[in-house]
Structure 1
Amino acid sequence: MKSMKAAIIYEAGGPERLILREREIPTPEDGQVLVRVRAFGLNRSELMTRKGFSPDVVFPRILGIECVGEVVCDPSGQWSPGQRVAACMGGMGRDFDGSYAEYTVLPKAITCPFTSDLPWHVLGAIPEMFQTAYGSLYLALGIRAGESLLVRGATSSVGLLAIQIAKQAGLTVIATSRNPEKDAFLRDRNADYVLVDDGNLQTKIKGIGAADKVLELIGTNTLKDSLACARPGGLVCMTGMLSETWSVKDFAPMDFIPSTVGLTVYDSGQFRLDSGALQLFISDVAADTIQLPVGRVFGLEGIVEAHRLMDSNSAGGKIVITND
């Protein structure tokens, strides 16, 4: 049996816990497909798992909740070798070994075929970032032209993409960052307004007007303030946990949620990539209608350095690993 390289984590801890090893290439069973991993993006959930904050994940494990690559073997015969596919969530890197490897076996149900001549490092940034931004805006928030959208945590890769998608849809976008020096950066990426986030946005947004929709990417520690930034009848979607805060202590709904303001969440693990929407998005990227916020690109041998960069929150966009 041929072998492959894989980054394996044996115990929780820092980036150095990710160790490159040789492993046998796995064999797909019925309902599965063997994929040659060409590229994958890094995600905060992988950082949380690496730190030991995902109690249901059993080590050793190959992390990685998304990837793009080529079919090597499909036991059903539906997809020919070389077919390009994308995959994300569905238990990847958590319930079973994920994408931090040269090959991976995936449930066919979470893989999505596509066609594209874009470079692998560009394609590798797409699956989870697209799924999260598109799903949060359209499926959870139901954005419409003419509305205003507050993106809290706008300098994250999902935040930067959400700004572009919302502007394409005809919304006014209010972006936030803790760093006042990011004002020009966010305006250059089509944000109409930029607010410095000191944890109390509800006072700052009064000069602009309360938002129709709010995309919360920071976490539960800013959620109450984000709810206060929405207009009566508005809607807030909690999607991200950049602060690594999972729960609200002593949650009292009547005190926490303003009257008539709606609260929802978007969890990409509960939805499969939509092949039609994905293909259209890839076409937009190819046509330069969408500029992907890619920060740094590493090879698999740079996985430890890549995780250190993710820890530092200084990538300036999506971190991508390639096997190309």
Structure 2
Amino acid sequence: MLQTAHGSLHTGLGIQAGQTLLVRGGTSSIGVAAAVLAKEAGLTVLSTTRNPDRLALLAKLGVDHPLVDDGDVAGQVRAIRPEGVYAALELVGTNTLPDTLRATAIHGTVCFTGMLSDAWTIPDFYPIGYLPNGVRLTAYGGESSDLPADAFQRYVDLVAAGRLPIRIDRVFALEEIGAAHRVMEDGAAVGKLVVRV
């Protein structure tokens, strides 16, 4: 989770203090980590949830603009930042990617990291028709070696200080693994699901 959030923000997006970031899928474990790490790095963060009851959670994490994902996140983003965001982290999937691209400013970058929706491919992808002018699309799917030791220690220190929550939503026994998958597929968890072996 921390490695993926770090790699998405630093390798995929190359974030810098003062920029704006959209996290699409903000109440996922990677979305939570990315929002907190981006705030620590000095970014203004907009983050989405499909569940209006989770807006308060995003605000508690320090998200500047919690948004309900109603399918038109680009319209909401542009109402707040008419020029769009400089960086966007796509954690939902290819079904929301076009809207995330539209929320991004010219010369901004979208990093495709997650597929929470299980939408993995883009049929008949035509780049000129799909990508807005001047918006960059990249991806991140790295390894643990992408997380430098000093960054990992900084994140461990944030966890210890209570500033980076590692949320465990529920713990399941191994024989409950089917129930764990249903919770995950229904999007009912905020944080990690743990299965004890």
TM-score exceeds 0.5: yes
Q: Which residue of 2 aligns with 1:215?
A: 89
Indicate the residue corresponding to 2:39 in structure 1. 167
Q: CA deviation at 1:191?
A: 1.0
Distance in structure 2 (CA, Å) of the matches to 1:152 and 1:134: 16
Q: Which string of whole-angstrom CA distances, capped at 9 and with x for unpartnered residues, describes residues 110-161 of structure 1?
A: xxxxxxxxxxxxxxxxxxx111111101111011111110011111111111
Which one has the largest radius of gyration?
A: 1
Contact 2:6–2:147 at 8 Å: present in 1 too? Answer: no
What is the match of residue 146 of structure 1?
18
Structure 2 match to 1:239: 113
Q: Cα distance, 1:188 vs. partner?
A: 1.5
Match of residue 297, structure 1, among 152, 157, 171: 171
Please tell me whether the aligned partners of residues 233 and 262 of structure 1 are also in contact (alpha carbons under 8 angstroms): yes
Indicate whether 1:205 and 2:77 are aligned.
Answer: yes
Unaligned runs of 5+ in 2: none
| 5+ long unaligned stretches in structure 1 | 1-128
- Is residue 267 from structure 1 mapped to residue 141 from structure 2 by the alignment? yes
* Aligned Cα root-mean-square deviation (Å): 1.8
The amino acid that maps onto 2:14 is: G
Task: Give the TM-score of the pair, scaled to structure 1.
Answer: 0.57
Q: Counterpart of 2:41 in structure 1: which amino acid?
A: A
Q: Which amino acid aligns with 1:241?
A: M
Q: Is the 8 A contact 2:7 2:147 kept in 1?
A: no
Q: Which range moved further: 178-187 or 254-263?
A: 178-187
Question: What letter corresponds to residue 138 of structure 2 in structure 1?
Answer: T
- Measure, in 1, the Cα distance between the counterparts of 2:106 and 2:127: 16
More strand by share: 1
State the Cα distance separating 1:185 from its structure 2 match.
2.1
Q: Do 1:161 and 1:293's aligned partners in 2 also have CA atoms closer than 8 Å?
A: no
| Structure with the higher fraction of residues in helix conformation | 2
What secondary structure, in the 3-state scheme, does the structure 2 residue paired with 1:264 have? Answer: strand
Match of 1:255 among 129, 146, 155: 129
- Per the TM alignment, residue 274 of structure 1 is displaced from its structure 2 partner at its CA by 3.7
Superposed CA offset, 1:152-185 (max 9, x none): 1111111111110011111111011222232222
